[in-house]
Chains A and B, each alone.
With several copies, the nearest count.
Chain A
Amino acid sequence: MRERDVTKSAFLAAVLARCIAGSGSVAVGSNSPIPAAAALLAEHKAAGRLTVFILGSPRHNPFTDGGREMFDFAAQGRLDSFFLGGGEIDGTGDINLLRTGDHRFPGCYGAPYLMALVPNIVLFREEHSRRVLVPRVDFVSARGSGPEGAYRTGGPKSLVTGRAVFRFTDGGFTLVSCHPGETVETIRAETGFDFAVAADPRPTEGPTDEDLQLLQGPIASALAPLYPRFTARLLRGSHA
């Protein structure tokens, strides 16, 4: 990378934006500042062909039928992309948003439903460690695939962490790129589940200059009311 102020958040937002390129619609749930920034970046680059819904943001809300509309919209097959995190994520694409041992996470929110209905689910968790990427989640909040016989139109397509990007196919993950400073070996050391490695794993591409200007300018401004601490501390921060 050149000498620029690329925060980790800006880097990840740019990576996530590429995961939803080509979508006609994307929604972002609550407490998801980096995905929200990614969605707005993708919107800028799609030149009006992408509809962005950010829960809690009055300016990025194309819906007029109340809290259920986004969920109905997804079940109608109209929502192309959604971001999901996870206190734990395992190698089958199952995620845990509720609890491990006696530790409580905020809750499942829309995940048990959206994971089954939105075609391009982007899994995102900045922390990439064996604590998060586990052999098997303690609690299945949402399933990466199945169960057999169930109606299903959605599922994970990719997993982005603070270290790497994986593709999800046939019920498992394939490492497709490592962020700067990481290698297949360092990724394997920090990942609790098995994964395949793409024939040609490359360094993850960060934001372009234009991406960065957008993220640090209009996107940071747009997100400031919703995520004041995030925008102040991270997106405009001067240390990567």
Chain B
Amino acid sequence: MRDPGPVSVNALAGSIPDGARLALPADYGGVAMAATFALIRRGARRLRLFGVPTSGLQTDLLIGAGAVETLETAGMALGESGVGPRFRDALRAGGLVVRDSTCPAQHAALQAGEKGIPFLPLRGILGTDLLAGRQDWPVIRNPLAGEADPDPIVLIPAVRPDVALFHAALADAAGNVWIGLRRELATLAHAARRTLVTVEALHPGNLLEDPLMAPGTLPHLYVAQVAVAPGGSWPLAFGESHPADDGALARYSEAAKTDDGFAAILAEWLR
């Protein structure tokens, strides 16, 4: 059930409980950074992150802030700067549980969640050490294969995140959200139990009633809370209107190499 009307970014972030399985888009896919700062401010703990399909700055920040217990993702990098420094540090220190995955498996897990089915089969991956590390990905013989054909195939279990959190362009008063081409966010919201969205702006009409907007709209049915946060993806890019703040990202990559540097830039960004 949706709360009526938009809420504050703090209220939205505050509704994410400690221990939640939290699904987050890739750095190019509409990241709710303003809400992430709010989540860190409130001292979130033991989050189990799920990358859709990969992870970046947002996850590195959450790890550095001590908010993350597990991370399941297909990749973890800060753009051209490579592996996130806080992620790398947490791996060295131990305590962070990482479940390495691959992009199509992350998508397939959410599609299975969306369809209410226990798993989705997926080609490829066979014979890799990635698969060897995933005891939760069974390999079965394709029941449709010919008798002489072993045809092993990987099954990806469904994932239904407790919370999905992302940033989008527009929401209307009914709670419909315009995601445009970012359809993985629709799959994600379908699969998730609760979907929280920050948006650049409110749309005056009903998005579903506009034939040009409706095809890029996630219906209110799946949206638990909306908060308005203009520029809410900073310092990450959002669409063509909000390019990445390359200076801020470069500063982060450098600063976060040390505990003190990370603490300083985090304090600055949380102000």
Q: Mark A63-80, 1 if CB is under 8 A from B, else 0.
A: 111111101111111100
Q: Do A110 and B102 contact each other (CB < 8 Å), given the known contacts A102-B92, A140-B127?
A: yes
Residues of A within 8 A of B26 (CB): 30, 67
B115 contacts partner chain A, Cβ-Cβ < 8 Å = yes
Residues of A within 8 A of B75 (CB): 30, 106-109
Q: In the assembled complex, how far is the CB of residue B161 from the closest CB belonging to chain A, in whole angstroms?
A: 12
What would be 29 A-B contacts, judged by CB atoms less than 8 Å apart? Answer: A24-B1, A31-B79, A58-B239, A62-B208, A63-B219, A64-B183, A64-B186, A64-B214, A64-B218, A66-B184, A66-B185, A67-B183, A68-B184, A71-B103, A73-B221, A98-B100, A102-B92, A107-B74, A107-B77, A107-B100, A108-B102, A108-B130, A111-B102, A113-B125, A117-B123, A117-B124, A143-B126, A149-B152, A151-B123
| Chain B interface mostly | mixed
Question: Contacting chain A: which of B40-48, B80-88, B194-202?
Answer: B80-88
A55, A65, A151: which contacts B151 (Cβ < 8 A)?
Answer: A151
Residues of A within 8 A of B117 (CB): 75
Q: In the assembled complex, how far is the CB of residue A117 from the closest CB belonging to chain B, in whole angstroms?
A: 6
B205 contacts partner chain A, Cβ-Cβ < 8 Å = no
Q: How large is the interface on B (under 10, 10 to 19, 20 to 34, 35 or more residues)?
A: 35 or more
Q: Do A64 and B131 contact each other (CB < 8 Å), given the known contacts A30-B75, A71-B103, A150-B126?
A: no
Q: Interface of B with A (CB < 8 Å)?
A: 1, 26, 28-29, 52-54, 73-77, 79-80, 82-83, 87-88, 91-92, 100-105, 107-108, 111, 113-117, 122-131, 149-153, 181-187, 190-191, 208, 214-221, 239-240, 243, 246
Question: Contacting chain B: which of A189-197, A212-220, A221-229?
Answer: A221-229
Contact between chains at B218 and A112 (CB < 8 Å)? no
| Chain A interface mostly | loop
A141 contacts partner chain B, Cβ-Cβ < 8 Å = yes
Contact between chains at B150 and A149 (CB < 8 Å)? yes
Q: How large is the interface on A (under 10, 10 to 19, 20 to 34, 35 or more residues)?
A: 35 or more
